[in-house]
């Protein structure tokens, strides 16, 4: 493993500080690839202006949690280039800890392109083959579990990182095993991307992780990645997953586990950009879990943070702080004074 460690940040998170006990322990650890993100308002072949930001499922979740006042660490690898510096600068500014992130001088930072095509439908293209982010390895993860004081309360992993290659998948497995051994809660968001890997490849990699998962998040069409059973939720619960949360898009979400299922309808907001909505949902869900909310409360926070993402452009830019969570309780067109 080559590269230069990135200093962490002690900057306070925005909003309510859920870690005011001064404990060195992080609330959430997540790992994955964050890319420089270019967005076009028209097809790229027509030319025109591109906006530049950053995007990555796990860092979106990390930013969402940090804005809600939680102490979050992101582990990833960026290139020794300007896009990498943009990513590091953005995450530091959002209060995400980068103490175990790494700069690889021999590989470029990955890129992602978004094209607005029809209404709120976007086309996404990845340029991440051979990227620094694809060099994430188990050695990057092991220091996060070096002792009880540094072990996170929650580990959040996704199927995107697992699909980036042999080493990133090994990093996910190592993190899940270490979190399980340390007694941390393990959350898996299936987050299947057809352009990253096939359903068959994702199934072969993710199904062996199920015995170690405490909280599973998937959309309706992703459940088939994890089981061939015609009643996938029942099969996953029977396999030992304590809680399965299913996202239904504009119809809200349902949590299955224990005796009953709990449903939360989606918040009604104008749809501006659906990219990043699932990550925002997970940030709200984990925030509610950290705050000790019941299932209904966790789902309500999750659909609320998801609605903020849907109603604003960008992967993470519109995510709320804790004091802003109640904004959607106001009537449309309200001026909050």
- Looking at residue 147, what is its pLDDT? 86
Q: How far apart are CA 253 and CA 250, in angstroms?
A: 9
Query: pTM of the predicted model, to two decimals?
Result: 0.90
Which residues, 6+ apart, have CB-to-CB distance to 172 below 8 Å? 31, 157, 161, 162, 209
Q: What pLDDT is recorded for position 119?
A: 64
Per-residue confidence (pLDDT) for residue 20, from 0 to 100: 38
> What pLDDT does residue 208 have?
97
Q: Which of 257, 324, 265, 275 is nearest to 299 (CA)?
A: 265
Instruction: Identify whether 331 is part of a domain.
Output: no
On whether residue 146 sits in a domain, the answer given is yes
pLDDT at site 120 = 65
Note the pLDDT of residue 271: 84
Contact 292, 301 (CB under 8 A): no
In the set 27, 97, 189, 279, the catalytic residue is: 279
The whole-number mean pLDDT for each consecutive block of 10 residues of the chain, a chain of 337 residues, reads: 39 32 79 96 87 96 98 98 98 97 98 82 88 97 90 97 96 98 97 91 97 97 96 96 96 91 92 88 98 96 94 90 89 69
Report the number of distinct structural domains present in the chain.
1
Of the candidates 229, 273, 274, which has an alpha carbon nearest to the alpha carbon of residue 247? 274
Q: Residue 249: which domain range?
A: 4-319
Domain membership of residue 86 (yes or no) is: yes
User: What is the CATH number for 219?
Assistant: 3.40.1190.20
Domain assignment of residue 88, yes or no? yes
Based on the residue annotation, tell me whether 17 is a catalytic residue of this protein.
Answer: no
Q: Is residue 333 one of the residues assigned to a domain?
A: no
Asked, for residue 335, whether it belongs to a domain, the answer is no
For residue 336, is it within any domain?
no
Task: Give the per-residue pLDDT at 158.
Answer: 98
**Is residue 337 included in any domain, yes or no?**
no
Q: CA–CA distance from 65 to each of 15, 55, 86, 168 (Å)?
A: 10, 15, 20, 23
pLDDT the model gives residue 44: 86
């Amino acid at each position: 493993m080559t590269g230069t460690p990135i200093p962490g940040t002690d900057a306070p998170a925005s909003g309510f500080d859920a870690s005011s006990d001064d404990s060195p322990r992080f609330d959430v650890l997540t790992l994955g690839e964050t890319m420089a993100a270019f967005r076009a308002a028209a097809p790229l072949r027509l030319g025109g202006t591109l906006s530049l930001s950053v995007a990555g499922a796990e860092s979106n979740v990390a930013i969402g949690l940090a804005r809600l006042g939680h102490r979050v660490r992101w582990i990833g690898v960026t290139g020794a280039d300007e896009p990498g510096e943009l990513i590091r600068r953005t995450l530091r500014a959002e209060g995400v800890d980068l103490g175990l992130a790494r700069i690889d001088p021999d590989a470029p930072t990955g890129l992602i392109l978004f094209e607005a095509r029809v209404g709120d439908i976007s086309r996404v293209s990845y340029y991440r083959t051979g990227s620094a982010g694809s060099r994430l390895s188990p050695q990057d993860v092991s220091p996060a579990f070096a002792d009880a004081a540094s072990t996170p309360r929650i580990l959040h992993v996704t199927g995107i990182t697992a699909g980036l290659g042999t080493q990133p998948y090994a990093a996910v497995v190592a993190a899940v095993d270490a979190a399980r051994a340390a007694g941390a809660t393990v959350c898996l968001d299936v987050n299947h991307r057809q352009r990253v890997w096939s359903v068959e490849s994702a199934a072969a990699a993710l199904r062996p992780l199920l015995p170690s998962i405490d909280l599973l998040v998937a959309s309706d069409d992703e459940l088939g990645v994890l089981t061939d059973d015609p009643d996938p939720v029942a099969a996953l619960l029977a396999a030992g997953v304590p809680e399965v949360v299913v996202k239904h898009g504009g119809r809200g979400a349902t949590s299955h586990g224990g005796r009953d299922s709990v449903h939360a309808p989606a918040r009604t907001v104008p749809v501006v950009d659906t990219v990043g909505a699932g990550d925002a949902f997970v940030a709200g869900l984990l925030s509610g879990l950290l705050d000790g909310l019941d299932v209904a409360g966790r789902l309500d926070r999750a659909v609320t943070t998801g609605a903020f993402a849907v109603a604003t452009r960008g992967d993470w830019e519109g995510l709320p702080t804790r004091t802003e969570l109640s904004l959607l309780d106001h009537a449309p067109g309200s001026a909050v004074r």
